[in-house]
Amino acid sequence: MRHSLAVFLLLTLTACKIFDPLPDGSDPTKNMPVGEMYNQAKAELNEGNYESAIKLYEALQSRYPYGRYAQQALLEIAYAYYRQGETESAVSSADRFIKQYPNNPYVDYAYYVKGLASFHGEITVFQSVGGQDPTERDPKAAEDSFAAFKDLVLRFPESKYAADSRVRMQYLANALAKYELHVASYYLRRGAHIAAANRAKGVLTQYPNSPSTRDALQIMVQAYDALGMTDLRDDAKRVLAKNSGAPALSRDGNKTATKGEEPGKSWWQIWK
């Protein structure tokens, strides 16, 4: 315990000393070689001293704006902001890297950090709402995270970050589908049946493999029934019955096949 505390204090003092002015009042990093400055910043990053790391990386970029160190510094600034929980700064830094260095061999990591930063913002919101269902809140963070991971997967399908991105995309798709479902349910309760049906249909089109599709179909059945759109209501009923394992009935009361009975079809493939 004493050893750990001593190491922590030493690292803290070292981090502070880096930015202490020299006796003549000048910046101690002014004449530091780029490699040394980068290594010092990397050491601060590895020790979790994110603010110190960011300051050093930014100083490096200012003094040595060209070359691989400057590029790597910007990428690690994005990561440092992400680890600090500063979502907007992390995303902004990642975006700058993507725009300035689109051919960098590590640009896939920039997309990954961008997705992680927004994902972290999404999880932070989830943890802050107490007993409230977090999918009832503004979905922007989830949408931004999904878009970043999608860009990574589409542009760099062989990236070592692609597999994890796909898993996170599925989680986000389920969360976004639930959000749309909440909106559709709200419209249904308010008597806005057309809006309810459209939002529920959007769950099927945008998130066809999410667990929310069954509830979306049920909302469509209720909304179309209230609107007197019996054909659309019965179509929704048949798709719902088909995917519930119950026999669907035609309008004359006999069992009938639904559209798209082939196995492996998504809800939307069956519905359309």
pLDDT tens digits, the chain, 272 residues: what are they? Answer: 444 444 334 444 444 455 554 444 456 667 789 999 999 999 999 999 999 999 999 999 999 998 899 999 999 999 999 999 999 999 999 999 999 999 999 999 999 999 999 887 555 444 444 445 545 667 888 999 999 999 999 999 999 999 999 999 999 999 899 999 999 999 999 999 999 999 999 999 999 889 999 999 999 999 999 999 999 999 999 998 887 654 443 333 334 443 333 333 433 333 33
Give the model's pLDDT for residue 120.
73
Give the model's pLDDT for residue 7.
38
Give the model's pLDDT for residue 138.
73
Domain ranges of the chain: 180-272
Give 42's Cβ-side CA count (13 Å radius). 11
Give the model's pLDDT for residue 71.
95
Give the model's pLDDT for residue 141.
87
Give the model's pLDDT for residue 243.
75
Distance from C-alpha of 260 to C-alpha of 270, rounded to nearest angstrom:
5
pTM over 0.85: no
Distance from C-alpha of 229 to C-alpha of 221, rounded to nearest angstrom:
9
Give the model's pLDDT for residue 31.
75
Contact (Cβ atoms closer than 8 angstroms) between residue 123 and residue 172: no
Write the single-letter amino acid at 156.
Answer: F
